């Protein structure tokens, strides 16, 4: 069998694939966090809980209403996005004039409520969710075996991430958004409804988390605690990439996934801590993150 640095090649590529898939979820989630932070100046602690909700909406649709994966892929983000809009309108929007820390604390409380409710009804063991018929099976790439669904996860995540990037960096709407980040009063003076834009931004970014959730449902088990530890890794990724950089959060998300995969191959015990070690090193060398600019 072919080996690379003493590791069998299929094992190495297998771990890299797992890393890439984790990275795809990191990218979707850290992108959402970066967008919310950029526009609302809020760190959304509830992001992990909403991601979990996305997966549960998909599971609920399938087991209780018989609605399959493909419609759920659209419906789950819509439901989660709608919940996000309610959260922003009724609670978050009251805190914009205060210290940004209150936004973090509010969403932390929301995360506790959401996760507590789900644990109460579904326990922590998790529910299975089968991948759709069309994506079962896999391809033999010669050097490794690629399950079809996992390939789809990577492709779908990349399309959505870069679509979002294009939307924000290359369209008229994105230009308004970026302008509203810099000078909200001036943009309002031009007759653009900034509060509405903030609401929709939060709804959209939260819908991204919901999308990641339904995408993750067939890969991991659907469990109330699936977003709990993930969100902290994503926080670290956002710090590494630098807050406020859209492309930075996507690239860092995928990169950290790969690094974790490599670490799992060569030093399994360190795989869950490596991201935090990288964060500490980045903070010492580049305090504003790899892609971030100093902002005040």
Partner 1 sequence: MSEAVMNLRSRGGRRATSWILAAIGLAIIIVAPLIGLYPVFLMKLMCFALFACAFNLMLGYVGLLSFGHAAFFGMGAYVAGHAVKVWGVTTVLGIFGGAVVAGIMGLVFGAIAIRQKGIYFAMITLALAQMVYFFCLQAPFTHGEDGIQGIPRGTILGLVDLRNSLAMYYFVAAIFLAGFLVVYRTIHSPFGQTLKGIRENEARMVSLGYPVARFKVLAFTISATLTGLAGATKAIVFQTATLTDVHWHMSGEVVLMTLIGGMGTIFGPVVGAGIIITLQNYLATMGSWVTVVMGTIFVICVLTFRRGVVGEILARLK
Alpha carbons 210 and 60: distance in angstroms, whole number: 14
Q: Is 232 in the site for partner 1 (CB under 8 A)?
A: yes
**8 Å CB contact between 244 and 121:** no
Is residue 239 within the footprint of partner 1 (CB under 8 A)?
A: yes
Q: What letters, b where the CB count within 10 A reaches 16 and e where it falls short, cover 127-163?
A: bebebeeebeeeeeeeebebbebbbbbbebbeebbee
Cα–Cα distances (Å) from 37 to 21, 112, 148, 211, in that order, read 24, 20, 34, 19
Question: Binder to partner 1 among 76, 243, 250, 256 (CB under 8 A)?
Answer: 243
Contacting range for partner 1; rule: CB under 8 A; set: 20-28, 58-66, 92-100, 215-223: 92-100
Q: Which is nearer to partner 1, 41 or 135 (CB)?
A: 41
Is there binding between residue 99 and partner 1 (CB under 8 A)?
yes
For position 279 contacting partner 1 by CB under 8 A, the verdict is yes
The answer to whether residue 104 forms part of the interface with partner 1 (CB under 8 A) is yes
Q: Which of 8, 71, 109, 137 is close enough to bind partner 1 by CB under 8 A?
A: 109
Encoded one letter per residue, x for contact with partner 1 by CB under 8 A and - for no contact, window 258-277 reads: -----------x--xx-xxx
**Contact indicator for 50, 206 with CB cutoff of 8 Å:** yes
| Site size with partner 1, rule: CB under 8 A | 44
**Out of 50, 52, 106, 154, the residue judged to bind partner 1 by CB under 8 A:** 106
**Cα of 196 vs its chain's centroid, Å:** 23
Q: Measured from the CB atom, is 171 or 229 closer to partner 1?
A: 229
Cβ 142 to partner 1, closest distance in Å?
Answer: 36
Write 163-166 long-range contacts (CB < 8 A, 24+): 164/31, 164/35, 164/208, 164/246, 165/31, 165/246, 165/247, 165/250
Rounded distance, CA 68 to CA 58, Å?
Answer: 8
Q: Which residues contact 2 (CB under 8 A, 6 or more apart)?
A: 8, 9, 143
Closer by beta carbon to partner 1, 102 or else 162: 102
Residue 110 within binding range of partner 1, rule CB under 8 A: yes
Return the number of the residue (116 or 163) whose C-beta is nearest partner 1: 116
- Binding-site ranges for partner 1 (CB under 8 A): 37, 43, 91, 94-95, 98-102, 104-106, 108-117, 119-120, 229, 232-233, 235-236, 238-239, 243, 269, 272-273, 275-277, 279-280, 283-284, 287
């Amino acid at each position: 069998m072919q080996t690379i640095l003493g590791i069998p090649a299929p094992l190495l590529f297998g771990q890299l694939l797992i890393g890439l898939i984790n990275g795809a979820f990191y990218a979707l989630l850290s992108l959402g966090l970066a967008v919310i932070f950029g526009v609302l100046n809020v760190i959304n602690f509830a992001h992990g809980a909403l991601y979990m909700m996305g997966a549960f909406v998909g599971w609920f649709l399938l087991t209780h209403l018989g609605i399959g994966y493909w419609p759920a892929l659209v419906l789950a983000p819509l439901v989660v996005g709608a919940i996000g809009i309610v959260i922003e309108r009724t609670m978050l929007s009251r805190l914009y004039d205060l210290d940004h820390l209150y936004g973090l604390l509010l969403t932390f409380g929301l995360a506790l409520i959401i996760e507590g409710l789900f644990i109460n009804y579904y326990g922590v063991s998790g529910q299975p969710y089968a991948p759709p018929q069309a994506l079962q099976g896999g391809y033999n790439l010669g050097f490794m075996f690629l399950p079809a669904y996992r390939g789809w996860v990577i492709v779908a995540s990349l399309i959505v991430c870069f679509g979002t990037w294009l939307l924000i960096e290359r369209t008229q709407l994105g230009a308004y958004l970026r302008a509203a980040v810099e000078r909200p009063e001036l943009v309002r003076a031009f007759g653009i409804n900034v509060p509405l834009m903030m609401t929709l931004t939060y709804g959209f970014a939260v819908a991204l988390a919901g999308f990641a959730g339904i995408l993750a449902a067939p890969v991991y088990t659907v469990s109330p605690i699936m977003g709990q530890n993930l969100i902290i890794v994503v926080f670290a990724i956002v710090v590494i990439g630098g807050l406020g950089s859209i492309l930075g959060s996507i690239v860092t998300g995928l990169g950290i996934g790969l690094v974790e995969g490599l670490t799992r191959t060569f030093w399994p015990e360190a795989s869950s801590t490596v991201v935090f070690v990288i964060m500490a090193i980045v903070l010492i060398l580049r305090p504003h993150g790899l892609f971030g600019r100093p902002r005040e």
